[in-house]
């Protein structure tokens, strides 16, 4: 088992859905297994292991098998992602991992019929944000020359 620095990209509500929030953590790596210290998970991700399960503020996610998540070397990153219902991509050669937004975070705007807040220039180069037009009907046309 080796310990190495890992750049963890978080795509979640805290990043505002725009660019990922980047945190640097120390990870214990054994083959394909990546473990983060409980202290790093608490300080960088905001999640702690409590009697109720995996908790962040008043929200607790029950853990059916916390033995798969918590080991002497820390919290197993893949098990943490499964417990939080978040997609995970890991590239150990690059020392990077990406923890995506949960299904509920990604689907909430769709349930509210809310378009993603993007910023695009018009033909004159003026920038427009979708949020600037909330409550109004907007026709967005897209063209590509290829």
What per-residue confidence (pLDDT) applies to 59?
87
Residue 120 is encoded by which pair of tokens? 């695009």
Q: What is the CATH number of domain 2-109?
A: 3.10.20
pLDDT per residue as tens digits for the range 87-99: 888 888 888 888 8
**Taking a C-beta distance cutoff of 8 angstroms, is the pair 9, 86 a contact?**
no
**Helix and strand element counts for the chain (H, E):** 4, 12
DSSP letter for 131, please: G
User: Does the global pTM surpass 0.75?
Assistant: no
* Sequence ranges of the domains in the chain: 2-109
Write down the pLDDT at residue 123: 85
Q: Using 50 as the pLDDT threshold, list the residues of the chain that sit under it.
A: none
Tokens 């990922």 correspond to: 20
């Amino acid at each position: 088992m080796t310990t190495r620095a890992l750049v963890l990209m978080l795509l979640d509500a805290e990043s505002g859905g725009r660019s990922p929030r980047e945190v640097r953590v120390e990870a214990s790596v054994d083959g394909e297994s990546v473990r983060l210290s409980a202290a790093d998970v608490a300080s960088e991700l905001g999640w702690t292991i409590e009697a109720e399960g995996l908790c962040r503020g008043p929200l607790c996610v029950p853990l059916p098998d916390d033995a798969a998540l918590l080991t002497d070397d820390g919290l197993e990153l893949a098990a943490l992602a499964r417990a939080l219902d978040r997609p995970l991509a890991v590239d150990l050669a690059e020392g990077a991992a990406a923890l995506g937004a949960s299904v509920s975070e990604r689907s909430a705007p769709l349930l509210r019929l809310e378009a993603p807040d993007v910023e695009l220039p018009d033909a004159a180069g003026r920038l427009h944000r979708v949020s600037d037009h909330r409550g109004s009907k907007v026709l967005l046309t897209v063209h590509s020359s290829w």
